[in-house]
Amino acid sequence: MKISIFGLGYVGAVSAACLASDGHDVVGVDPNQTKVDLINAGQTPIIEADIGEMIATEVKSGRLHATTNAAEAVHASDLSLICVGTPSQLNGNLDLSYVRRVCEQIGEALREKGSYHVVAARSTMLPGSMRGVVIPTLETASAKVAGTDFGVCNNPEFLREGTAVWDYYHPPKTVIGETDARAGEPLVTLYGDLDSPVIRTSVEVAEMVKYADNNWHAVKVAFANEIGSISKAAGIDGRQVMEIFCKDTKLNLSAYYMKPGFAFGGSCLPKDVRALTYKARDLDLDVPLLNSILPSNRRQVDRAITMITSKGKRKIGVLGFAFKAGTDDLRESPIVDVIEHLLGKGYDLRLYDNNVSMAALTGANRDYILNHIPHISRLMVETVDEVMEFAETIVVGNGADEFRSAVESARNDQMVIDLVRVDERVSDNNYDGICW
Q: CA-CA distances (angstroms) from residue 83 to 11, 28, 154, 266? A: 6, 10, 11, 46
- The one-letter code for the residue type at 304 is A
DSSP 146: B
Give the integer Cα–Cα distance in Å for 323 and 342: 17
| Phi and psi at residue 153, to the nearest 5° | -135, 160
The CA radius of gyration of the chain, in Å to the nearest whole number, is: 27
Nearest CA-CA partner of 434 in 342, 297, 336, 330: 297
User: Where would I find the beta strands (DSSP E) of 195-353?
Assistant: 198-201, 315-319, 348-352
Per annotation, catalytic residue among 18, 83, 246, 268: 268
Active-site residue, 435 included: no
Ramachandran quadrant class, 175 (left: phi over 0; alpha: psi -120 to 50; beta: rest): beta
Give the integer Cα–Cα distance in Å for 327 and 304: 21
CA dihedral 77, 81, 84, 90 (to 10 degrees): 140
Contact 42, 52 (CB under 8 A): no
Give the integer Cα–Cα distance in Å for 291 and 270: 12
Give the integer Cα–Cα distance in Å for 359 and 369: 8
For 32, other C-beta atoms within 10 Å of its C-beta total 14
Residues across the chain: 436
Give the integer Cα–Cα distance in Å for 224 and 217: 11
Q: Please, where are the H alpha helices in 62-202?
A: 70-75, 97-111, 129, 135-142, 164-169, 181-190
Nearest CA-CA partner of 395 in 299, 295, 315, 328: 315
DSSP 372: I
Report, as residue numbers or ranges, the catalytic residues: 268
